[in-house]
Structure 1
Amino acid sequence: MSSIAVVTIGRNEGDRLVNSLQSIKKVLPETNPIIYVDSGSTDDSVNKAEELGVIVLNLDLSIAFTAARARNTGLKYIVNHYPQINYIQFLDGDYELNPQWLDKAKKRLEENPSLAIVCGRRREKYPEKSLYNRLIDMEWNTPIGEVKACGGDALMRVSALKEVNGYKQDLICGEEPEMCIRLREKGWKIERLDLDMTYHDAAMYKFSQWWKRSIRGGWAVAEGYAMHGKPPENYMIKELKSGYLWGFIIPFSAIVLAYFTNGISLLLLLSYALLYWKIYRYRINFGDNVENAKLYAYWCVLSKFPQFIGQYQYWWKKINKQKFTIIEYKS
């Protein structure tokens, strides 16, 4: 464990941050650095982190906050102050660490020197508290083995991160897949292990929160395509087209053409039933029960509309050279 550090980031996480840091301290030796990077919290997050004895770094308030910037700040601190550290476990302040994760993840990185990152199963702590929490837990159940990208929680090789200069810190979302693309271009690999890694407290109880999160997802699709959409990566091409087709083209065409087609164009809306069925069958084949598959398919179809809004917002602000700001969905 002596070669591992942990960098967790957050803003106004409160008790969730305390739970996160305590879960880290239970498994990491006292000599190993734990860094908390705070993005302008207005609650007592900083004080609570300091009380737990972790190293607290406060981001400059005059520069726009992004998760990527916060992670880079922690990475640079580790590189400059702890040169003996070979691996960094990144977390968000609302994630708790599985006690078994670090040992097994580190072992896997040591076994395979071509791996830059290993990640595992992220689980929602309270999926029963809201359907939105339940949807998030299902969303995070992804295939194991070699993958193209990871999320914000993963164990990463410091030498690989240094080779690509870490995260692109002006991104307001989607920074992990973007960095993974640059890592893979350098020959590095990413692997997802069949092991619980973290437990997440989404605390998502309102439709408005889900809607904003889906808009952010659409933004990530558009921005990812803008950076890496060309061959050979062809990043987010399918997702981008899907957002435009289902979020705008089909409903717009169905309604606008209704007058000229005596309402026949409204039959286009039946295609949403076909999309629902396709997603439902995919989730059933993936192993979901009928109830969960239906739930996931319905909300996935509905998400096409805020996804389109996110895509539109990205291109509008980019064309008009407006400032990008983070899209927050937590209360």
Structure 2
Amino acid sequence: MSARIGVVAIGRNEGARLKRCLASLAGTGASVVYVDSGSTDDSLAIARAAGARVVELDANAPFTAARARNAGFAALREAGLPEVVQFIDGDCALDPGWLATGAAALAADPGIGIVTGWRTELAPEATLYNAMAEWEWHRPPGDIPACGGDMMLRAAQFEALGGFDGAIICSEDEDLCLRVRAEGLRVHRLPRIMTRHDMAMTRLGQWWRRSVRAGHGFAEVGDRHPGHFAAERRRVRAWGMALPMGAILGGAALGPAVPLGALMLYAASWARSTRMLRREGQDARRAAGLAALLTLSKLPNAQGMITYRLRRLRGGEMRLIEYR
């Protein structure tokens, strides 16, 4: 690698996943900082044994991914600003060769502000929730509106933008992408694997909390960037708020025909999603399961959007929504 690259890994109680993450960075020549958000497992010992510079966040302030990534960048800055910084979550392992590929893409095209690749699941077949994450991660390459937290960008540009917005508890990555694009630069996805993610999700409650967090992000980032997440918010308002509320109120006033009609609409939505997934190549059983999660997701998404709005109205502190 010709560019000086710094890597910021963040995590909380990642255990073996963090060990895999840091092992994937060994031998790359990059400066590695690990930022820990109050882990109670052996994450700190794992990071120190791997030779990473460790930053422990003060528990007196709310933990957020944005705060952790900014703290990691500050630690890199103290050691001498790298040319390029790669952010990675502690439950991900970097794919061999990605750092050189990403840095080369930035060097070759000054119009690219953020470069990313595909995140893929280690065990997509293990659970339906893992399969859903794999489906979410794999999107077409090229210029894109935004990407997740696994990303690479020029360190000077990141510093000039003021880093991630530490007040945002989720979808802070989308916010940064939008601010980069506002500078006239592009967010670009290369057609290769960047990181291998270990969702390790086995329970409905975990998936529900993750979907609540997504809904919170739709509302929070949508407020900051009008028009972004507009389609997602419309779907949640229709399917996660208006339809269930109409079914409850209509059922109370007019009888069971109203909630039955609502259930038929949900069934139609599920069938439409199933057909779409089948066209994408999913087998019948997997398509039906993923479609069920897609249909159901509007309810926890709505919970997240409402949670955000209530916190704003009350002036309450935004706190991290964890799903593990």
TM-score bucket of the superposed structures, by smaller chain: over 0.9
Q: Distance in 2 between matches of 1:292 and 1:100?
A: 32
Q: Distance in 2 between matches of 1:114 and 1:308?
A: 37
Structure 1 residue aligned with 2:139: 142
Deviation at 1:236, TM superposition (A): 1.5
SS in 1 for 2:319: coil
Deviation at 1:278, TM superposition (A): 3.0
Deviations 1:215-273 (A, max 9, x none): 111111111111112xxxx1122211211211121122123213544544231331112
Structure 2 residue aligned with 1:252: 245
Q: Distance in 1 between matches of 2:272 and 2:164?
A: 35
Equivalent positions of 1:1-331 (< 5 A) are: 1=1, 2-26=3-27, 28-29=28-29, 32-83=30-81, 85-229=82-226, 234-266=227-259, 267-330=261-324
Q: Distance in 2 between matches of 1:82 and 1:45?
A: 26
Could you tell me whether the CA contact under 8 Å between 1:36 and 1:55 is conserved in 2? yes
Runs of 4+ off more than 4 Å: none
SS in 1 for 2:191: strand
Could you tell me whether the CA contact under 8 Å between 1:160 and 1:188 is conserved in 2? no
Aligned residues between the structures: 322
Could you tell me whether the CA contact under 8 Å between 1:36 and 1:74 is conserved in 2? yes
Deviation at 1:53, TM superposition (A): 1.1
Deviation at 1:5, TM superposition (A): 1.3
The one-letter code sitting in structure 1 at the alignment partner of 2:314 is N
Could you tell me whether the CA contact under 8 Å between 2:8 and 2:73 is conserved in 1? yes
Instruction: Mark the CA change 1:216 to 1:71 in structure 2 (over 3 Å): closer, same or farther.
Output: same
Deviation at 1:292, TM superposition (A): 3.1
Gaps of 5+ in 1: none
The one-letter code sitting in structure 2 at the alignment partner of 1:241 is R
Q: Distance in 2 between matches of 1:207 and 1:285?
A: 26
Deviation at 1:120, TM superposition (A): 0.9
SS in 1 for 2:110: coil
Gaps of 5+ in 2: none
Instruction: Mark the CA change 1:257 to 1:117 in structure 2 (over 3 Å): closer, same or farther.
Output: same
Deviation at 1:125, TM superposition (A): 0.7
Could you tell me whether the CA contact under 8 Å between 1:280 and 1:297 is conserved in 2? yes
SS in 1 for 2:125: helix
Could you tell me whether the CA contact under 8 Å between 1:122 and 1:200 is conserved in 2? yes
SS in 1 for 2:66: helix
Deviation at 1:200, TM superposition (A): 0.9
TM-score, scaled relative to structure 2: 0.95
The one-letter code sitting in structure 1 at the alignment partner of 2:91 is D
Q: Which shows bigger deviation, 260-269 or 272-281?
A: 260-269
Could you tell me whether the CA contact under 8 Å between 1:16 and 1:94 is conserved in 2? yes
Deviations 1:15-49 (A, max 9, x none): 111111011114x12xx311101111111211121
Could you tell me whether the CA contact under 8 Å between 1:251 and 1:269 is conserved in 2? no
Could you tell me whether the CA contact under 8 Å between 2:128 and 2:290 is conserved in 1? no
Instruction: Give aligned-pair identity as a percent.
Output: 36
Q: Which shows bigger deviation, 139-148 or 271-280?
A: 271-280
Q: Which shows bigger deviation, 64-73 or 100-109?
A: 100-109
Q: Which shows bigger deviation, 254-263 or 116-125?
A: 254-263
The one-letter code sitting in structure 2 at the alignment partner of 1:244 is R
SS in 1 for 2:189: strand
Deviations 1:180-217 (A, max 9, x none): 11111111111111101111111111111011111111
Q: What RMSD, in angstroms, separates the aligned Cα atoms of the two structures?
A: 1.6
Deviation at 1:93, TM superposition (A): 0.8
The one-letter code sitting in structure 2 at the alignment partner of 1:114 is G
Instruction: Mark the CA change 1:328 to 1:259 in structure 2 (over 3 Å): closer, same or farther.
Output: closer
